[in-house]
Structure 1
Amino acid sequence: MNGSLQVQFGIASDTGRRPRNEDYAGVCLASPGRRVRQGIVAALADGVGGAKGGRIAAELAVRTFIDGYYAQPEPLGVQRAAARVIEAVNRWIVAQGRADPALENMASTFAGLILRHRNAHVLHVGDSRVYRLSDGQLARLTEDHTLNRPDYAHVLYRGLGIEEAVRLDYGVHPLRLHDRFLLCSDGVHGTLTDVALRSLLMRRDTPEAAARLIVDTALDAGSSDNASAVVVDVVGLPAIEHTELESAAANLPILAPPAAGEELDGFRLDAPLSDGRYSRLFRATNLEDGRSVVIKFPQPEVAADKTFRLAFVREAWVAARVRSPWVGEVIELPPGRQTRLYTVMPYYEGETLEQRLRRKPSLALAEGVEIAVTLARALSALHRAGIIHRDIKPDNVILGRGGRLTLIDLGVARLPQLEEFPTADVPGTPSYMAPELFAGSAGDERSDQFALAVTIHRALSGGGYPYGEVEPFSRPRFGKPVPLARGRGDVPAWFDQILARALSPAPADRFGDVIEFAQELENALAHGRPEIVRRRPLYERNPVLVWQCVSAALLCAMLALLARG
Structure 2
Amino acid sequence: SRYRICHLDPGLRRGARWVGRGDARMETDGRLQIAAGFATALGPRKDNQDFGAVHQGTPSEQALHGMVALVADGVSGSKAGRVASELAGRSFIDAYVDQNPLKGVAAAGLAALTGYNRWLHAKGRSDPDMTGAATTFTALVLRGREATALHVGDSRAWHFRDGVLTRLTEDHVLSQPGLNHVLYRAVGIEPDLRLDTRAVPLKAHDRLLLTTDGVHGVVSDEDLTRLLARRASPEADAQSIIDAAGTAGTRDNATAIVIDVIRIGAVDQDAIGAEAAGLPILPAPRAGDNVDGFHLERLLSDGKYTRVFVARDGEGGPRLVLKFPKPKLLSESGARGAFLRESFIGRRIDSPYVGKTLTLDPGRQSRLYIAQPLYVGRTLHARIAEATFAIPEGVDLSIRLSRAVAALHRSGITHRDIKPDNVILEADGGLKLIDLGVARLPRIEEFAEAEAPGTPGYRAPEMFAGNPGDALTDQYALGVTLYRVFTGDYPSGQETDFNRIRFDRPVRPTTHRPDMPAWLEAAILRTLSVDPADRFADVEELIHVLESGSAAAVPPRRALSLMERDPARFWQAISAILFVLLLASWMVK
TM-score (normalizing by structure 1): 0.50
Instruction: Report the Cα offset of residue 244 of structure 1.
Output: 8.4
2:446 to 383, 396, 420: 420
Instruction: Report the Cα offset of residue 117 of structure 1.
Output: 9.0
In structure 2, what is the equivalent of residue 411 of structure 1?
A: 437
Instruction: Report the Cα offset of residue 474 of structure 1.
Output: 2.5
For 1:280, what is the secondary structure of its paired residue? Answer: strand
Residues 499 and 272 (structure 1), Cα distance of their counterparts in 2 relative to 1, 3 Å cut: same
| Equivalent residue letter for 1:379 | V
| CA displacement 1:42-91 (0-9 Å, x = unmatched) | xxxxxxxxxxxxxxxxxxxxxxxxxxxxx97347xxxxxxxxxxxxxxxx
Output the CA distance in 1 between the equivalents of 2:494 and 2:282: 33
| Equivalent residue letter for 2:343 | A
Output the CA distance in 1 between the equivalents of 2:476 and 2:391: 19
For 1:432, what is the secondary structure of its paired residue? Answer: coil
Instruction: Report the Cα offset of residue 488 of structure 1.
Output: 2.5
Give the alignment of 1:42-121 within 5 angstroms. 73-74=21-22
In structure 2, what is the equivalent of residue 443 of structure 1?
A: 469
2:460 to 428, 431, 434: 434
Output the CA distance in 2 between the equivalents of 1:292 and 1:444: 35
Matched, 1:391 2:417: yes
Output the CA distance in 1 between the equivalents of 2:339 and 2:504: 37
Residues 443 and 37 (structure 1), Cα distance of their counterparts in 2 relative to 1, 3 Å cut: farther
| CA displacement 1:462-519 (0-9 Å, x = unmatched) | 2x10023476883533122112211233212332111111110110000111121122
2:539 to 514, 536, 545: 514
CA RMSD, 1 decimal: 3.3
Q: Is the 8 A contact 2:59 2:274 kept in 1?
A: no
Q: Which moved more, 1:264-273 or 1:285-294?
A: 285-294
2:504 to 464, 479, 496: 479
Output the CA distance in 2 between the equivalents of 1:401 and 1:274: 19
| Equivalent residue letter for 1:35 | R
In structure 1, what is the equivalent of residue 332 of structure 2?
A: 305
Output the CA distance in 2 between the equivalents of 1:118 and 1:329: 20
Gap runs ≥5 in structure 1: 1-33, 39-70, 76-114, 120-174, 178-238, 531-565
Residues 249 and 35 (structure 1), Cα distance of their counterparts in 2 relative to 1, 3 Å cut: closer
| Equivalent residue letter for 2:21 | P
In structure 2, what is the equivalent of residue 489 of structure 1?
A: 514
Matched, 1:268 2:304: no
Output the CA distance in 1 between the equivalents of 2:59 and 2:449: 35
| Equivalent residue letter for 2:465 | A
Instruction: Report the Cα offset of residue 416 of structure 1.
Output: 0.4
| Equivalent residue letter for 1:338 | Q
Q: Is the 8 A contact 2:270 2:443 kept in 1?
A: no
Instruction: Report the Cα offset of residue 438 of structure 1.
Output: 0.6
Residues 309 and 116 (structure 1), Cα distance of their counterparts in 2 relative to 1, 3 Å cut: closer
For 1:431, what is the secondary structure of its paired residue? Answer: coil
| Equivalent residue letter for 1:461 | T
Once the two structures are aligned, what percentage of the paired residues are identical? 47
In structure 2, what is the equivalent of residue 35 of structure 1?
A: 2
Q: Is the 8 A contact 2:354 2:434 kept in 1?
A: yes
Instruction: Report the Cα offset of residue 37 of structure 1.
Output: 8.9
| Equivalent residue letter for 1:487 | H
Give the alignment of 1:289-300 within 5 angstroms. 290-300=317-327
Residues 117 and 310 (structure 1), Cα distance of their counterparts in 2 relative to 1, 3 Å cut: closer
| Equivalent residue letter for 1:327 | V
Could you list the structure 1 runs, at least 4 aligned residues long, displaced by more than 6 angstroms after superposition: 115-119
TM-score (normalizing by structure 2): 0.48
Residues 319 and 74 (structure 1), Cα distance of their counterparts in 2 relative to 1, 3 Å cut: farther
Q: Is the 8 A contact 2:417 2:454 kept in 1?
A: yes
Q: Is the 8 A contact 1:374 1:405 kept in 2?
A: yes
Q: Is the 8 A contact 1:391 1:451 kept in 2?
A: yes
| CA displacement 1:353-404 (0-9 Å, x = unmatched) | 11111224x3111111111111111111111110000000011111113421
Output the CA distance in 2 between the equivalents of 1:485 and 1:474: 25
Instruction: Report the Cα offset of residue 410 of structure 1.
Output: 0.5
Output the CA distance in 2 between the equivalents of 1:37 and 1:321: 28
Instruction: Report the Cα offset of residue 118 of structure 1.
Output: 7.7
| Equivalent residue letter for 1:294 | V
| CA displacement 1:332-354 (0-9 Å, x = unmatched) | 22222111111111111111111
| Equivalent residue letter for 2:297 | D
| CA displacement 1:211-242 (0-9 Å, x = unmatched) | xxxxxxxxxxxxxxxxxxxxxxxxxxxx9994
| Equivalent residue letter for 1:411 | G
Q: Which moved more, 1:380-389 or 1:296-305?
A: 296-305
Matched, 1:286 2:317: no
Q: Is the 8 A contact 2:60 2:275 kept in 1?
A: no
| Equivalent residue letter for 1:375 | L
Q: Alignment length, in residue pairs?
A: 310
Residues 261 and 306 (structure 1), Cα distance of their counterparts in 2 relative to 1, 3 Å cut: same
Output the CA distance in 2 between the equivalents of 1:472 and 1:265: 43
| Equivalent residue letter for 2:373 | P
For 2:457, what is the secondary structure of its paired residue? Answer: helix
For 1:255, what is the secondary structure of its paired residue? Answer: coil
Instruction: Report the Cα offset of residue 324 of structure 1.
Output: 1.2
Output the CA distance in 2 between the equivalents of 1:526 and 1:518: 12
